[in-house]
Amino acid sequence: MEAVEILNSILEPSNQRQISESQIMLILDALAGAQDPTLVSRFPAVLALCARRDIELSSQKLLGRYWESSAKRQNLEKLLFISAELFRRLEVPAPRALPQIADSLRNRHADLASAKEVQLAGGPRVAVTDLAAALKHVAGAPGQAPGEAEKPAAAGQRRAWSPNLPVLLELLFSEKQKELVFKRLKGQPMTKTEREYYSRVVKKKLAAIADAEMQEVAALLGGPGNRSPAGAASR
């Protein structure tokens, strides 16, 4: 499964999957720093998930960690502003606080309201039409429930390890964290320091990500011993 499809799976309605505010913030922050424009285009779709789950956006939690001049903050501001504009144009219910956040950013990013592309600092150029398409896909067409066209996998069917798991890890994990994930997957020995760091940081981060494949990784790696699952992804 491609990283884009993995991200899309997060957006599918599910009565069994609960996504918290902190998980949403993690995903939005990662998308604002992604280098793949197709991934970045899912930004407003994730915001639509906030509206669906009645999660209120926090300007402080999204933007407050960064200096106003930082590239990450500039990217977040641009994506929040253009997303609010798309929610308005498409008449899609926006998550709570998004219109207020966009109003506070208008003086700096008003030119994006008529732009055809969004140029991210140190990142890709993303077409506004792609952002709009991702939002419409998740919001659903008139008379169609969001995600109605998507067919869930058969109950009990176990997905094979994705050959593109490294792409998703690239989005959310540092190089050292990825190295430890693959060591664990392959059953390779780790030093005491690596084991402690894995348990304290990496394992918790895996478990926090609301994605079916990543949850499977977290559950598998959380068990005792350094098991090497059949079909594990190789780097």
The predicted structure's pLDDT at residue 169: 64
CB 24 within 8 A of CB 49: yes
CB 35 within 8 A of CB 123: yes
Question: Residue 126: which H helix or E strand, with range?
Answer: strand 125-127
Report CA Rg, the chain: 19
The predicted structure's pLDDT at residue 53: 79
Q: What one-character DSSP code corresponds to residue 175?
A: H
Bridge partner list, 126:
118
Nearest to 231 by CA among 174, 198, 187: 187
CB 58 within 8 A of CB 97: yes
The predicted structure's pLDDT at residue 108: 92
> pLDDT of the chain along its 235 residues, tens only?
344 555 555 555 543 445 677 777 888 888 898 888 888 998 998 898 888 878 888 888 889 989 989 999 999 999 999 999 999 999 989 998 999 999 999 999 999 999 999 999 988 999 999 999 989 887 764 434 444 434 444 434 444 444 445 555 666 677 788 788 878 877 788 898 988 888 888 877 776 554 554 444 444 444 444 443 333 333 3
Q: What is the pTM of this model?
A: 0.59
State the Cα–Cα distance between residues 192 and 103, nearest whole angstrom: 50
The predicted structure's pLDDT at residue 110: 93
CB 30 within 8 A of CB 24: no
CA 172 to chain centroid: 8
The predicted structure's pLDDT at residue 21: 76
State the Cα–Cα distance between residues 76 and 118, nearest whole angstrom: 11
